[in-house]
Amino acid sequence: MNALGAFLAPFRGLKLLTRPGLRRYVVAPLAINVLLFAGSGWLAYTQLDRYLAHMLPQDGWLHYLEWLVWPLAVAAYLLLVFYGFTVVANLIGAPFNSILAARVEERFTGRPPPESQRGLMAEILPAVTGEVGKLLHFLKWAIPVLILMLIPGVNLIGSALWLLLGFWFLAVEYIDYPMGNHQVPPRDQRRLLRRHPLQAWAFGAAANLLMLIPGINLAAMPAAVAGATIWWVEGLSKDEMTL
């Protein structure tokens, strides 16, 4: 699979959610997203002006680059808000997402992954532990980038890096579900993604796009889980044996 295929995977996942046999695995993640995206949308709407007033240059030569800084600042802010709520949504929905990934893989391959026979209760502890680990990995890189975003004159670079980091985070977040079902450790997951950075950024960009489309964003999490599973089955799994 190339970068275009990885970009299209979340949209294919969105379409797949309407298929019989998968809908029941979408109800819980969908309900979680409805509540959390309502909260994130309210926060984005009420605090955007204050954020832009701080980020955009008010004078000096950088003022003439406002046309370039403005869209980056808006995108960075939206990602900051939505990623925060995405972490919470995935923390709550992780056990359901692992089961959804297993059912999508079974639909494509005809056989369930080895870890898919566990029940929902057995999924909770490893799923929550995995989410905490991903959050710590993200914070390790996010904190330095956020500091850059607060420095006048450097925040343009910080905003661009934040976009790339955000796309990478979404790829790490969602590929964990199908790869976790195959007992691939998180370190090996990230090592595999580093072999395919364009695919990871493309997938993350598409998942982020789903989050920003009103209405569709409510199904963004299960769509990204299904899309990551497609990405795994049709692409990354073929390279996993060389880890």
> Rounded CA gap, 236 and 199, in Å?
10
pLDDT number for residue 199: 95
Contact 185, 236 (CB under 8 A): no
pLDDT number for residue 81: 63
Task: Say whether pLDDT at 193 is over 80.
Answer: yes
Could you tell me which of 40, 10, 22 has the C-alpha nearest to residue 170? 10
Q: How much is the average pLDDT of 89-96?
A: 71
| Between 25 and 110, residue with greater pLDDT | 110
| Between 189 and 114, residue with greater pLDDT | 189
| Between 105 and 122, residue with greater pLDDT | 105
Q: Find the length of the chain.
A: 243
> Rounded CA gap, 56 and 74, in Å?
10
User: Which of 23-27, 40-44, 67-71, 223-227 has the highest average model confidence (pLDDT)?
Assistant: 223-227
pLDDT tens-digit profile of 131-159? 677 777 777 777 888 777 777 767 677 77
Structure tokens at 156: 């343009």
| Between 75 and 176, residue with greater pLDDT | 176
Rg (the chain; Cα; Å):
18
Contact 199, 231 (CB under 8 A): yes
pLDDT number for residue 239: 73
Q: What percent of the chain has pLDDT over 90?
A: 19
Task: Say whether pLDDT at 84 is over 60.
Answer: yes
Query: Average model confidence (pLDDT) for the chain?
Result: 77
Q: What percent of the chain has pLDDT over 70?
A: 67
Task: Say whether pLDDT at 82 is over 70.
Answer: no
Comparing 7-11, 85-89, 199-203, the range with the smallest average pLDDT is: 85-89
Task: Say whether pLDDT at 207 is over 60.
Answer: yes
For the beta carbon of residue 3, count every other beta carbon within 10 angstroms.
16
